[in-house]
Amino acid sequence: MPFSGKGHHLMAIKGLMIAGLASGSGKTMVTLGLLRALLRRGVAVSAAKTGPDYIDAGFLSAACGSKTVNLDQFAMSKPLLAALAAAQDGEMLVAEGVMGLFDGATGNAGSSAALAEALDIPVILVMDVRHTAQTAAMVAAGIAALLPAGRIAGVILNHVASARHLSLVREALAQHEIPLFGAVPSRNGLVVPSRHLGLVQAADFDKGGLDQIIDHAADLIRDNCDLDLILSAASPLPHTQTSSSPSPRTIINKASPALSRPSVPAPAQIIAVADDAAFGFSYHHILAGWRQQGAEIRCFSPLNDEAPAPDADFIFLPGGYPELHLPALSTRAGFFAGLATAAKANIPIYGECGGFMTLGTGIIDANGNRFQMAGLLELETSFAAKKRHLGYRKFIPLEGFFWDGPFLGHEFHYTSPIAASGTPLFAAEDASGRSLGKVGLRKNAVAGSYLHIIAAASA
C-alpha cells in the first residue's frame, strides 16, 4: 500500500483535490465516501474545503473524524495555505473543491484550480455523465491541456448508467491518456437535502443518520473506485518537497514563518465563542490560530441559554442559522443577560452575519414575525423580502475596531437591515475593487457586520 495508518504523522505529508465541473457533480459525496473508505483501510487522512464553505466542512469533519480546515486562495497567501495544509492531522490531506474547477472571483482567484496550483497538488475530476459519454473524455482532456502537466490526475465518473455507458467513456478516456479512478453508478439515497445557503448542516443530523449516509457513500467508493490508484496519485505538500524543508514536528513545535503570522491575531487571552446549531460558522483555522498564540477558547451555547464565560476578555458570535431557531433564541434570557453584562463592563463583543443580527434589536422572519434580540446594536434585520448578498470582500476597519486589518473575507446572507444606525465598522470593496461603501456597526465595545473574516490581508 502507498500509505498506511501505522506510523501516524502529526501533520499531512501528501495531498490531492477532488473537484468537479459544476455544483451538483457529486464531488461532496465522492469526497465523503473517499475519506471514510480510506479511514476504514487504516489511512490517517484529514480533509480541507476549498473556499469559505462552512457547510461542507462540517460533513467532511464527520467523515474523517477531525476538524476540516477551509483553504481559500483568494484570502490566504501561499505560505499560509501551505502551513495550514501541512498542519492538518494524519499523513494525507484530501481537499474538496468548490463549484466548478475554475469558478471563483475575478481571474479565477479563490477557485479550486487556483488552490491546487498554490499547493501544487493533483486534481481528480468528478464528472456527472448522466447525459453524456465520449464528450466527457473530451472535456477532461481539454481541461488537462489548459493546466500544467499532471495537474489533472484522472477522473471519477458519477451516475454511470450501464456497463455499455462505462465502456464508451472509458475507451474515450484511454485515447486521451486520462486515467480512470472509478465509476460510480446512479443510486438513490445519497443526496443531502438542500437549504437556502447550501446543504443542511451536519449538526442537523443525529450521528447515526449522518454516519449512515457517509457509510453508504464509502461503500460505493470502495466497490467502484481504485483506492490504491487514488492513494498513489497524491503528491507531496509544499513543506515536504525539498530535503531542506523543516520536518512537520519542527514546524509545529518551533513555528514556521508562515505560522508565526497568524491569519487573525488573537484578540484576548480568554475568548468566549458561541457554538451550537445557530452559531456554527466559525473558521477552524482562526480558532486554532488563536489557541496556537496561547489564547484559551471557551465555547458556549446560546440555544442552551448559556452565557459567555464571565471572565472572558473577548466574546465572538459567529454566523450560522439563527433564523431557524428564532422562537427559542429570543427567549434565552440568560444568554442575553450575559451579553448585556459584558457590554456594560466594556468587554469587546464581535458578531459576524448571524451573530451580528443577534446583537441587534430584533429579527423578522420570512412570515413577518418579529423576535427580540440582544439590543446591543441599533439594528433590525428582516427575511421578509429576501435578497441574496454573495461574494468575496476586501475591507478596512474604521476607527475603534479590535484589529488594524485590512482583511479579506466574504459575505453570504439573505436578510437585509430595515433599520440601522450607529458608527460604521468597515470600508468595504468587492473582489474586483468596486467600493461597497461603509458597512457594519459599532457601539462602544460591541461591533459586528455581515462580513466574515477569513484572514488579514498580510497573512
Active site residue 353: yes
Nearest to 305 by CA among 283, 280, 282, 276: 276
Residue 200's pLDDT is: 60
Residue 384's pLDDT is: 86
Q: Could you report the per-residue pLDDT of 243-293, keeping only the tens digit for each?
A: 333 333 222 233 333 444 579 999 999 999 999 999 999 999 999 999 999
Mean pLDDT of 432-453: 96
Residue 112, classified by CB atoms within 10 Å of its CB into exposed (0-12), middle (13-18) or buried (19+), is buried
Spatial distance between the Cα atoms of 222 and 374, rounded to a whole number of angstroms:
49
Q: Could you report the per-residue pLDDT of 93-152, keeping only the tens digit for each?
A: 999 999 999 998 877 889 999 999 999 999 999 999 999 999 999 999 999 999 999 999
Q: Could you report the per-residue pLDDT of 46-101, keeping only the tens digit for each?
A: 999 999 988 889 899 999 999 999 999 999 999 999 999 999 999 999 999 999 99
Which of 64, 225, 299, 353 is catalytic? The answer is: 353
Q: How many residues does the chain have?
A: 459
Residue 400's pLDDT is: 77
Examine the pLDDT at 11 and tell me if it is beyond 90: no
Q: Determine whether domain 14-251 maps to CATH 3.40.50.300.
A: yes
Residue 74's pLDDT is: 94
Taking every pair of Cα atoms in the chain, the longest distance, rounded to a whole number of angstroms, is 71
Quickly state the pLDDT bin for 204 (edges 50, 70, 90). low
Residue 3's pLDDT is: 40
Examine the pLDDT at 186 and tell me if it is beyond 90: no
Mean pLDDT of 184-201: 57
Strand partners, 426: 397, 439
Quickly state the pLDDT bin for 302 (edges 50, 70, 90). very high
Buried b / exposed e over 436-452, threshold 16 CB at 10 Å, is beebbbbbebbbbbbbb
Residue identified by cell 459584558 is 342
Residue 249's pLDDT is: 27
Spatial distance between the Cα atoms of 290 and 284, rounded to a whole number of angstroms:
10
Examine the pLDDT at 196 and tell me if it is beyond 90: no
Q: Is 384 helix (H, G, I), strand (E, B) or coil?
A: coil
Residue identified by cell 499523513 is 91
Domain map of the chain by residue range? Answer: 14-251, 262-456
Examine the pLDDT at 198 and tell me if it is beyond 80: no
* Inter-helix orientation angle 163-175/134-146, to 10°: 30
On average, the pLDDT of the chain sits at: 88
Examine the pLDDT at 199 and tell me if it is beyond 60: no
CA-CA-CA-CA torsion sign (108, 111, 117, 122): negative
Examine the pLDDT at 156 and tell me if it is beyond 90: yes
Mean pLDDT of 303-323: 97
Spatial distance between the Cα atoms of 22 and 26, rounded to a whole number of angstroms:
9
Q: Quick check: do 14-251 and 262-456 share a fold?
A: yes
Least confident of 99-103, 107-111, 311-315, 370-374: 107-111
Residue 207's pLDDT is: 59
CB 164 within 8 A of CB 182: no
Mean pLDDT of 318-346: 96
Mean pLDDT of 348-370: 96
Examine the pLDDT at 176 and tell me if it is beyond 80: yes
Examine the pLDDT at 162 and tell me if it is beyond 50: yes
CB 185 within 8 A of CB 162: no
The domain made up of 262-456 has a fold known as Rossmann fold (3.40.50)
CB 328 within 8 A of CB 343: no
Nearest to 26 by CA among 133, 205, 142, 160: 160
C-alpha cell at 415: 436578510
Least confident of 238-242, 323-327, 330-334, 391-395: 238-242
Examine the pLDDT at 451 and tell me if it is beyond 90: yes
